[in-house]
Amino acid sequence: MSNILDKIFADKQKELAGTKCDLPLAELKQRIGDQAPVLDVFPALRKGKNSRIIAEIKRRTPFKGELRENFNALEIASDYARYGAAALSILTESNYFGSHIGILQEVRTVAPIPLLRKDFIFDEYQVYESRAHGADLFLLIATWLEQSQLTDLLGLGKELGLPALVETHDEYDMEKAFEAKASLIGINNRDLTNGKTDLNIARRLIPMALQEPGKTLVCESGIHGREEIEDFEKIGAHAFLIGESLMTAQNIPEKLTELLGNEKFAG
Protein backbone atom coordinates (compact mmCIF):
# COMPACT_ATOMS: atom_id res chain seq x y z
CA MET A 1 0.00 0.00 0.00
CA SER A 2 1.24 3.48 -0.80
CA ASN A 3 0.18 5.09 2.49
CA ILE A 4 -1.61 4.49 5.79
CA LEU A 5 -4.97 5.76 4.49
CA ASP A 6 -4.94 3.19 1.68
CA LYS A 7 -4.05 0.47 4.19
CA ILE A 8 -6.87 1.42 6.55
CA PHE A 9 -9.42 1.34 3.71
CA ALA A 10 -8.05 -1.97 2.42
CA ASP A 11 -8.36 -3.57 5.84
CA LYS A 12 -11.83 -2.07 6.22
CA GLN A 13 -12.88 -3.68 2.95
CA LYS A 14 -11.78 -7.09 4.24
CA GLU A 15 -13.55 -6.55 7.54
CA LEU A 16 -16.78 -5.39 5.89
CA ALA A 17 -17.13 -8.65 3.97
CA GLY A 18 -17.40 -10.50 7.28
CA THR A 19 -19.70 -7.89 8.78
CA LYS A 20 -22.15 -8.30 5.89
CA CYS A 21 -22.27 -12.04 6.51
CA ASP A 22 -22.89 -11.61 10.22
CA LEU A 23 -25.61 -9.00 9.73
CA PRO A 24 -27.24 -9.07 6.27
CA LEU A 25 -28.41 -5.80 4.75
CA ALA A 26 -32.09 -6.79 4.95
CA GLU A 27 -31.84 -7.25 8.71
CA LEU A 28 -29.86 -4.02 9.04
CA LYS A 29 -32.61 -2.10 7.25
CA GLN A 30 -35.21 -3.54 9.63
CA ARG A 31 -33.24 -2.18 12.59
CA ILE A 32 -33.47 1.34 11.21
CA GLY A 33 -37.17 1.38 12.04
CA ASP A 34 -36.32 0.96 15.73
CA GLN A 35 -34.16 4.08 15.84
CA ALA A 36 -35.18 7.46 17.19
CA PRO A 37 -35.50 10.32 14.67
CA VAL A 38 -32.25 11.82 13.42
CA LEU A 39 -31.12 14.91 15.35
CA ASP A 40 -30.58 17.88 13.04
CA VAL A 41 -26.92 18.89 13.28
CA PHE A 42 -27.17 22.07 11.19
CA PRO A 43 -28.81 24.34 13.81
CA ALA A 44 -26.29 23.07 16.36
CA LEU A 45 -23.39 24.14 14.14
CA ARG A 46 -24.72 27.49 12.95
CA LYS A 47 -26.33 29.11 16.02
CA GLY A 48 -25.37 30.10 19.54
CA LYS A 49 -23.39 32.81 21.28
CA ASN A 50 -20.40 30.51 21.86
CA SER A 51 -18.22 28.73 19.35
CA ARG A 52 -19.57 25.45 18.02
CA ILE A 53 -17.40 22.42 18.73
CA ILE A 54 -17.80 18.84 17.55
CA ALA A 55 -15.94 17.10 20.36
CA GLU A 56 -14.33 13.81 19.41
CA ILE A 57 -14.05 10.53 21.25
CA LYS A 58 -11.15 8.38 20.10
CA ARG A 59 -9.05 5.96 22.08
CA ARG A 60 -5.99 5.90 19.86
CA THR A 61 -4.70 6.82 16.40
CA PRO A 62 -2.29 5.10 13.99
CA PHE A 63 -0.06 8.17 14.20
CA LYS A 64 0.16 8.76 17.96
CA GLY A 65 -0.98 5.52 19.58
CA GLU A 66 -2.99 5.56 22.82
CA LEU A 67 -4.23 9.06 23.59
CA ARG A 68 -5.64 8.70 27.09
CA GLU A 69 -5.04 6.53 30.13
CA ASN A 70 -8.14 5.05 31.77
CA PHE A 71 -10.19 5.76 28.65
CA ASN A 72 -13.92 5.81 29.41
CA ALA A 73 -16.08 6.74 26.44
CA LEU A 74 -19.29 7.25 28.44
CA GLU A 75 -17.62 9.51 30.98
CA ILE A 76 -16.02 11.58 28.22
CA ALA A 77 -19.29 11.83 26.26
CA SER A 78 -21.15 12.92 29.37
CA ASP A 79 -18.59 15.66 30.04
CA TYR A 80 -18.71 16.84 26.43
CA ALA A 81 -22.50 17.10 26.45
CA ARG A 82 -22.62 18.75 29.88
CA TYR A 83 -19.99 21.39 29.12
CA GLY A 84 -21.28 22.65 25.81
CA ALA A 85 -20.23 20.52 22.83
CA ALA A 86 -22.59 21.09 19.86
CA ALA A 87 -22.16 17.51 18.65
CA LEU A 88 -19.92 14.50 19.19
CA SER A 89 -17.62 12.77 16.73
CA ILE A 90 -17.38 9.07 17.55
CA LEU A 91 -14.62 6.92 16.06
CA THR A 92 -16.05 3.47 15.32
CA GLU A 93 -13.07 1.90 13.51
CA SER A 94 -11.58 -1.08 15.37
CA ASN A 95 -8.21 -2.03 13.89
CA TYR A 96 -6.45 1.34 14.07
CA PHE A 97 -8.56 3.38 16.50
CA GLY A 98 -9.60 0.70 19.00
CA SER A 99 -13.34 1.26 18.80
CA HIS A 100 -16.54 -0.40 17.55
CA ILE A 101 -19.85 0.70 16.08
CA GLY A 102 -21.78 -0.27 19.19
CA ILE A 103 -20.24 2.69 20.98
CA LEU A 104 -22.76 4.95 19.20
CA GLN A 105 -25.69 3.45 21.07
CA GLU A 106 -23.75 3.42 24.33
CA VAL A 107 -22.90 7.11 24.05
CA ARG A 108 -26.46 8.03 23.12
CA THR A 109 -27.58 7.13 26.65
CA VAL A 110 -25.58 10.04 28.10
CA ALA A 111 -25.36 12.51 25.21
CA PRO A 112 -28.66 13.79 23.72
CA ILE A 113 -26.88 15.76 20.99
CA PRO A 114 -26.04 14.89 17.34
CA LEU A 115 -23.58 12.01 16.90
CA LEU A 116 -21.20 11.83 13.95
CA ARG A 117 -20.09 8.34 12.98
CA LYS A 118 -16.45 8.81 12.07
CA ASP A 119 -15.15 5.85 10.12
CA PHE A 120 -13.76 4.88 6.73
CA ILE A 121 -16.96 4.64 4.71
CA PHE A 122 -17.00 3.55 1.07
CA ASP A 123 -19.98 1.18 0.78
CA GLU A 124 -23.75 1.72 0.90
CA TYR A 125 -23.98 -0.95 3.63
CA GLN A 126 -22.03 1.34 5.96
CA VAL A 127 -24.50 4.19 5.47
CA TYR A 128 -27.42 1.92 6.44
CA GLU A 129 -25.25 0.62 9.29
CA SER A 130 -24.68 4.15 10.56
CA ARG A 131 -28.41 4.88 10.66
CA ALA A 132 -29.23 1.50 12.20
CA HIS A 133 -26.84 2.15 15.10
CA GLY A 134 -28.16 5.61 15.90
CA ALA A 135 -25.77 7.99 14.14
CA ASP A 136 -27.15 11.40 13.18
CA LEU A 137 -24.56 11.99 10.46
CA PHE A 138 -21.57 10.17 8.98
CA LEU A 139 -18.15 10.94 7.55
CA LEU A 140 -17.11 10.73 3.90
CA ILE A 141 -13.43 11.26 3.06
CA ALA A 142 -13.19 13.00 -0.30
CA THR A 143 -9.45 12.35 -0.56
CA TRP A 144 -10.00 8.61 -0.92
CA LEU A 145 -13.42 8.32 -2.56
CA GLU A 146 -14.03 8.61 -6.28
CA GLN A 147 -16.47 11.31 -7.36
CA SER A 148 -19.20 8.80 -8.18
CA GLN A 149 -18.81 7.06 -4.82
CA LEU A 150 -18.93 10.32 -2.93
CA THR A 151 -22.03 11.51 -4.78
CA ASP A 152 -23.87 8.20 -4.42
CA LEU A 153 -23.11 7.74 -0.71
CA LEU A 154 -24.08 11.33 0.04
CA GLY A 155 -27.32 10.81 -1.88
CA LEU A 156 -28.16 7.61 0.00
CA GLY A 157 -27.59 9.39 3.28
CA LYS A 158 -30.04 12.10 2.26
CA GLU A 159 -32.64 9.44 1.42
CA LEU A 160 -32.26 8.09 4.95
CA GLY A 161 -32.40 11.57 6.47
CA LEU A 162 -28.74 11.25 7.39
CA PRO A 163 -26.39 14.07 6.31
CA ALA A 164 -22.71 13.49 5.65
CA LEU A 165 -19.73 15.54 6.71
CA VAL A 166 -17.65 15.56 3.53
CA GLU A 167 -14.04 15.90 4.58
CA THR A 168 -11.61 17.72 2.28
CA HIS A 169 -7.87 18.40 2.38
CA ASP A 170 -7.08 20.25 -0.85
CA GLU A 171 -8.68 22.12 -3.74
CA TYR A 172 -9.39 18.94 -5.69
CA ASP A 173 -11.28 17.50 -2.71
CA MET A 174 -13.26 20.73 -2.42
CA GLU A 175 -14.29 20.55 -6.06
CA LYS A 176 -15.48 16.98 -5.46
CA ALA A 177 -17.54 18.15 -2.47
CA PHE A 178 -19.10 20.91 -4.59
CA GLU A 179 -19.89 18.47 -7.39
CA ALA A 180 -21.55 16.10 -4.93
CA LYS A 181 -23.62 19.03 -3.59
CA ALA A 182 -22.40 18.56 -0.03
CA SER A 183 -23.97 20.95 2.48
CA LEU A 184 -21.63 20.13 5.36
CA ILE A 185 -17.95 20.37 4.47
CA GLY A 186 -15.01 19.59 6.70
CA ILE A 187 -11.57 21.00 6.05
CA ASN A 188 -9.01 18.66 7.58
CA ASN A 189 -5.66 20.24 8.37
CA ARG A 190 -4.20 16.76 8.81
CA ASP A 191 -2.90 14.84 5.82
CA LEU A 192 -4.38 11.39 6.41
CA THR A 193 -1.73 9.74 4.29
CA ASN A 194 1.11 10.67 6.66
CA GLY A 195 -0.37 12.32 9.77
CA LYS A 196 1.19 15.75 9.24
CA THR A 197 -0.88 18.76 10.29
CA ASP A 198 -0.78 22.25 8.77
CA LEU A 199 -3.29 24.95 9.75
CA ASN A 200 -2.57 26.77 6.51
CA ILE A 201 -4.73 24.15 4.79
CA ALA A 202 -7.86 25.66 6.38
CA ARG A 203 -6.61 29.21 5.84
CA ARG A 204 -6.37 28.42 2.14
CA LEU A 205 -9.54 26.38 1.67
CA ILE A 206 -12.08 28.28 3.79
CA PRO A 207 -12.21 31.23 1.35
CA MET A 208 -12.65 28.77 -1.52
CA ALA A 209 -15.50 26.98 0.28
CA LEU A 210 -17.25 30.27 0.98
CA GLN A 211 -17.59 30.87 -2.76
CA GLU A 212 -20.44 28.32 -2.68
CA PRO A 213 -23.37 29.81 -0.72
CA GLY A 214 -25.14 27.90 2.01
CA LYS A 215 -22.31 25.61 3.07
CA THR A 216 -21.61 24.83 6.72
CA LEU A 217 -17.84 24.68 7.24
CA VAL A 218 -16.09 22.60 9.88
CA CYS A 219 -12.40 23.16 10.59
CA GLU A 220 -10.73 19.89 11.64
CA SER A 221 -7.44 18.91 13.31
CA GLY A 222 -4.60 20.89 14.83
CA ILE A 223 -6.75 23.20 16.96
CA HIS A 224 -5.24 23.52 20.43
CA GLY A 225 -6.32 26.89 21.80
CA ARG A 226 -8.98 29.57 21.85
CA GLU A 227 -6.93 31.99 19.76
CA GLU A 228 -6.87 29.60 16.80
CA ILE A 229 -10.64 29.18 16.97
CA GLU A 230 -11.20 32.93 16.97
CA ASP A 231 -8.84 33.37 14.01
CA PHE A 232 -10.68 30.76 11.92
CA GLU A 233 -14.10 32.12 12.86
CA LYS A 234 -13.03 35.50 11.54
CA ILE A 235 -12.35 34.02 8.09
CA GLY A 236 -15.59 32.02 7.96
CA ALA A 237 -15.40 28.71 9.84
CA HIS A 238 -18.73 27.80 11.44
CA ALA A 239 -17.61 24.94 13.69
CA PHE A 240 -14.58 22.96 14.81
CA LEU A 241 -13.99 19.23 15.10
CA ILE A 242 -11.51 18.82 17.94
CA GLY A 243 -10.12 15.51 19.13
CA GLU A 244 -6.56 15.15 20.34
CA SER A 245 -6.30 18.40 22.32
CA LEU A 246 -9.39 17.32 24.27
CA MET A 247 -8.50 13.64 24.55
CA THR A 248 -5.02 14.41 25.88
CA ALA A 249 -6.13 17.19 28.25
CA GLN A 250 -5.61 16.57 31.95
CA ASN A 251 -9.08 18.02 32.61
CA ILE A 252 -11.46 17.59 29.66
CA PRO A 253 -14.30 19.84 30.92
CA GLU A 254 -11.87 22.64 31.67
CA LYS A 255 -10.24 22.33 28.22
CA LEU A 256 -13.61 22.30 26.44
CA THR A 257 -14.71 25.36 28.41
CA GLU A 258 -11.54 27.18 27.35
CA LEU A 259 -11.97 26.27 23.68
CA LEU A 260 -15.60 27.39 23.70
CA GLY A 261 -14.61 30.80 25.03
CA ASN A 262 -16.68 30.50 28.18
CA GLU A 263 -15.47 32.88 30.85
CA LYS A 264 -15.15 30.45 33.73
CA PHE A 265 -14.96 26.72 34.26
CA ALA A 266 -17.46 25.50 36.84
CA GLY A 267 -16.20 22.06 37.74
For this structure, is 56 an active site residue? yes
For this structure, is 215 an active site residue? no
First to last CA, the chain: 47
pLDDT in tens, 51-95: 899 999 999 988 888 899 889 999 999 999 999 999 999 999 999
**Above 50 in pLDDT, residue 253?**
yes
**Residues whose CB is less than 8 angstroms from the CB of residue 245 and which lie 6 or more positions away in sequence, other chains included:** 223, 224, 225, 255, 259
Catalytic: which of 12, 51, 58, 245?
Answer: 58
Rounded distance between C-alpha atoms, residue 165 and residue 116, angstroms: 8
Q: Which of 5-9, 10-14, 95-99, 163-167 has the highest mean pLDDT?
A: 163-167
The Cβ of residue 30 has, within 10 Å, a number of other Cβ atoms equal to: 11
Closest CA to 191 of 183, 182, 200: 200
The CATH H-level (homologous superfamily) assignment of domain 4-33+41-260 is Aldolase class I (3.20.20.70)
For this structure, is 118 an active site residue? yes
Catalytic: which of 51, 93, 99, 118?
Answer: 118
For this structure, is 148 an active site residue? no
Q: What does the pLDDT read at residue 1?
A: 42
pLDDT in tens, 86-135: 999 999 999 999 999 999 999 999 999 999 999 999 999 999 999 999 99
Rounded distance between C-alpha atoms, residue 221 and residue 189, angstroms: 5
Catalytic: which of 130, 221, 244, 245?
Answer: 221
Q: What does the pLDDT read at residue 51?
A: 87
CB 77 within 8 A of CB 49: no
For this structure, is 221 an active site residue? yes
**Residues whose CB is less than 8 angstroms from the CB of residue 4 and which lie 6 or more positions away in sequence, other chains included:** 62, 63, 192, 193, 194, 195
Catalytic: which of 99, 129, 176, 220?
Answer: 220
- Residue range 233-257: mean pLDDT, rounded: 95
**Above 70 in pLDDT, residue 266?**
no
Share of the chain above pLDDT 90, in %: 87
